[in-house]
Amino acid sequence: MDRIPEKTISEIRAVSDIVSVISEVVLLKRAGKNYVGLCPFHSEKTPSFTVNSDKQIFYCFGCGAGGSVFTFLMKHEGLSFPEAVRMLGRRHGIAVSDNDLSPEEQRRIREREGIFDINEQATAFFRRMLVEDPVGCRALDYLRKRGMSMETIDRFSLGYAPEGWDALTRFFADRRISDMLLKQSGLVIAKKNGPGHYDRFRNRIVFPIAGTASRVVGFGARVMDDSLPKYLNSPETAVFNKRRSLYGLEAARSGCREKGTVYVVEGYFDVLALSQAGVPNVVATLGTALSSEHVRILKGYVREIILVYDSDQAGMRAAFKSVEIFRRENMDARILVLPEGHDPDSFIRKFGRDAFEAAAQSARNMMDFMMEETIRKHGLSVEGKIRVIEEMRQPFSAVSDSMARSLYIRNLAERVGVDEAVVAGRIGRPASGRDSRRENDPRGAYVAEGSDYQDSIGFEGRHARIERKIVTVMLQFPDLLAEIDRRRILDDFEDERLKSIGRHLLANYKSGGEHHISNFIEKLDEAERAIAINLAMEGDVWDRGGCLRLLTQFESGRKRQTDNLLHKIEAARRNNNQALLLELLKEKQNRARKRQTIN
């Protein structure tokens, strides 16, 4: 971190507004001086994630995550500090030299940037093969027969991977791209017998997949006949993770935020057809089940997810797999099953956008959908009722909210005609031991007992509370740092964490460093950073007079403590209580030693 010049870091920080950066992936709403939203780093119903524009910091009162704009990118994108600085610098045209990075940081950045560059070149190559080269005529004709307009082809940068084993390999060989980096990109595969590589995608329509930073992270590819496998995706790479990637998200962001809802479909062509028909809020998973990471990403844009399937059985399988994910992520979801014989692509082309949106209005709550389909599957014979109740045990047990669970049980009991108490007894207790009362914690989110966060910011006792206020003053009223240093206030701190934060503040002040909170917190370890940001977020307004009175109050309290200790020592001497005298003298010595360690 220290290898990048402080001047460069400060320059990039100054032009990178934290609210703008975070609002790209988190739905923020103004709340007084701050902005709040659902935390992207843990599951919650009530927003506890807070961003302060004036101080250029963020903090989650639920999980304790917090820091500057660099910290956010590091945590959200999985970057190192230099990579985060470099990423923001690139946005604003501020260069960060490789000479400022360690060898390992240079290696990581070279690999990531190399893959991004290869993906960009590959996207251009595949596109040229589709729309400019004669080899792409059949592929272009295929897309047109699927109803794709040139506008859609251009908007989603669709391409074509030619037949043969080495068209892309030869393209990159002419550009002197290393075989190692090509292999790391996932676009080529090493030959099993002998040296060299061959193309992963051959004679397929290619769909570039953009990440949250709007850069191509990987590719999907589809055959144009009945060959298997029908679809192929890039493998996991340094920039591509299927559990965190959604096809079409880049194009759907604004539509998702405007509508507050997103349609999640299964195929690339489903996204293309719906988007082309005027449905702006649609994404697709990449051949994988919807993951917690997917849901958490979508929570940054929408309040509700509608899963769209082409059959009841597909919907049922998905519902049973994902009910726990939606519960864990506190996200509302509904299921839309299209008429038999239709997927989203064919439905929208035959019936149009209005019919699709009308069908979406009737999308069913996930639990209601599972109940109805389970009853339809097993019927209402005695044996059927037993199977229905047994099959609904797992999804019901995933509902930790006692009221919602009770209502679902009542609904099921009425539908199958079985006494509610019997159904409730058969379903059993919730699978999670999580206390639903904690969902309404005034801090806005549940904090697990024994978590590092909870332990790291608990301050007990009157003295600790005053020390906490003093550090808050140091963070928010830097004009007092010189006075605090002169009066050696930190010498008498009892809480070692607060004392350490205070030391860092004074060291930064004495070195002439920039006092801006977003700069200072980068120099703290993770535990101290959580405490400092928590204090910096407090809304108290201090003036110089109030600060000085606080310092005097603290000194008076410490003087009373010292006087009381001296009186106790004198009393122990008079009473010839040697054991007590030794204990008190040790306490006096420990206090003196603590004061000496400050400097």
pLDDT, average across residues 235-255: 94
Helix (H), strand (E) counts: the chain: 28, 16
Q: Report DSSP state, residue 17.
A: -
Helices (H), 537-577: 544-574
Q: Report DSSP state, residue 516.
A: -
Of the chain, the percentage scoring pLDDT greater than 90 comes to: 50
Rounded-to-integer distance, Cα 384 and Cα 379, Å: 5
Strands 304-309 and 332-337: parallel
Rounded-to-integer distance, Cα 283 and Cα 286, Å: 10
Structural domains present in the chain:
6-101 (3.90.580.10), 106-235 (3.90.980.10), 241-354 (3.40.1360.10), 369-447 (no CATH), 462-597 (1.10.860)
Does the pLDDT value for residue 254 go beyond 90? yes
Q: Which conformational region is residue 186 in: left (phi greater than 0), alpha (psi within -120 to 50 degrees), or beta?
A: left
3-state secondary structure of 217: strand
Q: Which helix (H) or strand (E) holds 314?
A: helix 312-328
Of the chain, the percentage scoring pLDDT greater than 70 comes to: 90
How large is the C-alpha radius of gyration of the chain? 30
Rounded-to-integer distance, Cα 253 and Cα 175, Å: 35
Which of 595, 573, 593, 575 shows the shortest CA–CA distance to 584? 573
2 vs 243, higher pLDDT: 243
DSSP string computed for 440-490 = G-TTSS---TT-HHHHHT---SHHHHHHHHHHHHHHH-GGGHHHHHHTTGG
The lowest-confidence range among 122-131, 139-148, 493-502 is: 493-502
At 304, give phi and psi (nearest 5°): -145, 145
Given a contact cutoff of 8 angstroms between Cβ atoms, the answer to whether 367 and 346 are in contact is no
Rounded-to-integer distance, Cα 175 and Cα 497, Å: 54
Q: In this predicted structure, what is the pLDDT of residue 144? A: 96
Rounded-to-integer distance, Cα 490 and Cα 596, Å: 11
Does the pLDDT value for residue 319 go beyond 70? yes
Does the pLDDT value for residue 596 go beyond 60? no
Rounded-to-integer distance, Cα 100 and Cα 84, Å: 14
Q: In this predicted structure, what is the pLDDT of residue 437? A: 36
pLDDT, average across residues 399-408: 86
Rounded-to-integer distance, Cα 109 and Cα 115, Å: 10
Q: Spell out the residues 6+ positions from residue 78 whose beta carbon is closer than 8 angstroms to its own.
A: none
pLDDT, average across residues 30-51: 91
Tokens of 276: 């082309």
pLDDT, average across residues 91-109: 84
Given a contact cutoff of 8 angstroms between Cβ atoms, the answer to whether 568 and 591 are in contact is no
Write out pLDDT tens, residues 370-403: 899 899 999 999 999 999 999 998 888 878 778 8
At 417, give phi and psi (nearest 5°): 70, 40
376 vs 289, higher pLDDT: 376
Amino acid 480 reads L
Does the pLDDT value for residue 166 go beyond 60? yes
Q: Which conformational region is residue 32 in: left (phi greater than 0), alpha (psi within -120 to 50 degrees), or beta?
A: left
Tokens of 321: 């797999």
Q: Report DSSP state, residue 537.
A: T
Residue that is written with structure tokens 């290869």 in the block: 118
Rounded-to-integer distance, Cα 243 and Cα 330, Å: 18
Residue 188 forms beta bridges with which residues? 199
Tokens of 102: 């360690």
pLDDT, average across residues 28-57: 91
Q: In this predicted structure, what is the pLDDT of residue 328? A: 82
Q: In this predicted structure, what is the pLDDT of residue 257? A: 92
Amino acid 575 reads N
The overall average pLDDT reported for the chain is 86
Query: pLDDT class for 442, splitting at 50, 70, 90?
Result: very low
253 vs 544, higher pLDDT: 253
Strands 34-37 and 49-52: antiparallel
Write out pLDDT tens, residues 503-541: 988 888 887 766 678 777 877 888 888 888 888 887 666
Which of 268, 317, 262 shows the shortest CA–CA distance to 295? 262
Rounded-to-integer distance, Cα 241 and Cα 116, Å: 14
Cα 442 from chain centroid (whole Å): 23
Rounded-to-integer distance, Cα 75 and Cα 26, Å: 14
Angle between helices 137-145 and 103-131 (to 10 degrees): 80
pLDDT, average across residues 105-110: 86
Given a contact cutoff of 8 angstroms between Cβ atoms, the answer to whether 243 and 291 are in contact is yes
3-state secondary structure of 569: helix
Given a contact cutoff of 8 angstroms between Cβ atoms, the answer to whether 309 and 320 are in contact is no
Cα 27 from chain centroid (whole Å): 12
Distances (CA, A) of 565 to 257, 576, 583: 63, 16, 11
558 vs 345, higher pLDDT: 345
Q: Spell out the residues 6+ positions from residue 262 whose beta carbon is closer than 8 angstroms to its own.
A: 252, 256, 281, 282, 283, 298, 301, 302, 304, 305, 306
Does the pLDDT value for residue 190 go beyond 60? yes
Amino acid 325 reads I
Buried b (16+ CB within 10 A) or exposed e, 361-378: eebbebbebbbebbbeeb
